[in-house]
Amino acid sequence: MLKKIRLMTVIAVLFAAGILAGCAGRTGEKGKEIERLLEDKYGEKFRVTSIRGGSYGGEGYYEAEAYAVKHKDLPFSLNMDKDGSTFSDGYTMKRGTALIAEKVQDNIGKMKNPYYVHVQSMFPDSLTDAPDQTLEEYLSREASNFYTIYLYVNPKDETPESIWEHVEHALDGMPSMDGSLEVFFSGQATMKKARKYVESHASLEDEYMKIGEDDHVYGFDFRSGTIGTAKSGFLDAARQKIQ
């Protein structure tokens, strides 16, 4: 039943809203316990970087952030109750969004300047616990999810039309994916700052949104991997931004 209607996602929202009281601190023995649970689940080494604990409705929960040793740049969140009987984590989904980002970059191809792309999912936890799936398997099993693609482009020596020639192919080969594509015109300093944030935080908070807020050019929704009629809107917005 959609993995208990992604129950632990609801718990994460409660944490974010401040309903669950607690504070981050050293991971200690609880961190080691969570690392063991993750290692038993996936058969690889993990490191817990933070833990937050509290209670709601008389029940105790923990929320933590961790990363796989082999994938240090993909931090993820997890939720578990006090005795570990209910355990949900975002590792598999983070591996999936990394595959999407790689595919988008392959589709866009080489531009005149380096660019940066990363992907976030609406639901942080996956419906499966198989991180080594192919991109096609991820997307087919996560049809109910929604993805936001963040694309940072350096427009130097480019034109709106030349940039669009790359952007319009971003979703090629991903016909089952729904979401939005957010385009930013940024220099290397901003891209580096955005990348550093993404690679050190399990989710995107207000601090991240401020990094590129002045560089945002255009955002458009896509359905079933189709951008639709975004070209004219993008070109108009890009021309104004480049002027």
- Asked if residue 166 and residue 212 are part of one domain, the reply reads yes
Q: Which helix (H) or strand (E) holds 75?
A: strand 71-81
3-state helix, strand, coil in the chain (%, to 5): 40, 25, 35
User: How confident is the model over 95-145, as pLDDT tens digits?
Assistant: 999 999 999 999 999 999 999 999 999 998 898 899 999 999 999 999 899
pLDDT at site 119 = 98
Q: In 10 A of CB 162, how many CB atoms?
A: 13
The total domain count for the chain is 2
Tokens of 203: 């989710």
- Asked if residue 45 and residue 78 are part of one domain, the reply reads yes
pLDDT at site 61 = 82
- Asked if residue 208 and residue 97 are part of one domain, the reply reads yes
At residue 54, what is the residue type?
G
CA atoms within 13 A on the CB side of 205: 8
- Asked if residue 97 and residue 83 are part of one domain, the reply reads no
Across the strands, what pairs with 51?
Answer: 25, 64
Q: Which of 126, 120, 98 is nearest to 8 (CA)?
A: 126
- Asked if residue 69 and residue 121 are part of one domain, the reply reads no
Cα 121 from Cα 117, distance rounded (Å): 14
CATH number of the structural domain spanning residue 31: 3.10.450
CATH number of the structural domain spanning residue 106: 3.10.310
pLDDT at site 16 = 40
- Asked if residue 229 and residue 114 are part of one domain, the reply reads yes
- Asked if residue 150 and residue 51 are part of one domain, the reply reads no
Instruction: List average pLDDT for each run of 10 residues in the chain, which is 243 residues long.
Output: 41 38 56 94 96 65 94 96 84 97 98 97 91 95 94 97 96 94 97 98 96 96 88 95 88
Last residue of a domain, one of 32, 61, 89: 89
Domain around 182? 92-242
pLDDT at site 53 = 78
- Asked if residue 102 and residue 145 are part of one domain, the reply reads yes
- Asked if residue 153 and residue 140 are part of one domain, the reply reads yes
- Asked if residue 124 and residue 12 are part of one domain, the reply reads no
The SS3 of residue 159 is coil
pLDDT at site 127 = 87
